[in-house]
Structure 1
Amino acid sequence: MSTNKIILGIVTAAVAGAVIGLLIAPEDSKRTFKKLKKKTNNLAGDLIAALEKSKEKAANAAAGLKEEGKAYANEAAGKAEEYVDSARHQVGNI
């Protein structure tokens, strides 16, 4: 399961719990809606922070993979040069 799905599930459950709790609370509707709005804004901020952190992790992973790919490409180019030099040497000895 992906991290984004887990985060979305947690946030959805938290929002649903907050809404249910606030709606059945014995307070007037204006106060209830103010609390609901505040909770929703807090949860939205938490979700945005979590998504930004996930985005940063993904960018770091992509950069690492790019560098690893460059290293493999350089290694392959070096091996290719070795094979070409070896082939030239063998052809020269014929």
Structure 2
Amino acid sequence: MNLSQKDWWSQFLADPNGVILDVRTEEENAAKKIPGSLNIDIYKGQGFVYLVDELDKTKNYYVYCLAGGRSAQACSIMNQLGFENTYNLIGGISEWEGPTE
């Protein structure tokens, strides 16, 4: 599900079962990230699928990338793997106005 920045962040903050997932490269993640996010690079292809498939499917995943394209793709892959609740950040971190580290 695609969510605006405001809805994505407020829903995450109110979600005790929420996990933030950054699907950018390690270099992108090192430069700027949302605090507490887990980083799994979608460009790793099958490696991404293996790593994501090991995550807890009962949690709710708030997924972001640079602009929203890779994270939308990641949400689709995760849904196919059996994740029920994935939320794509529209605009990605390039439009993010929340906290970063």
**Length-normalised TM-score, structure 1:** 0.23
1 or 2, which has the higher helix percentage? 1
Higher-Rg structure is 1
Structure with more contact order per residue of length (Cα contacts < 8 Å, sep ≥ 6): 2
Higher strand share: 2
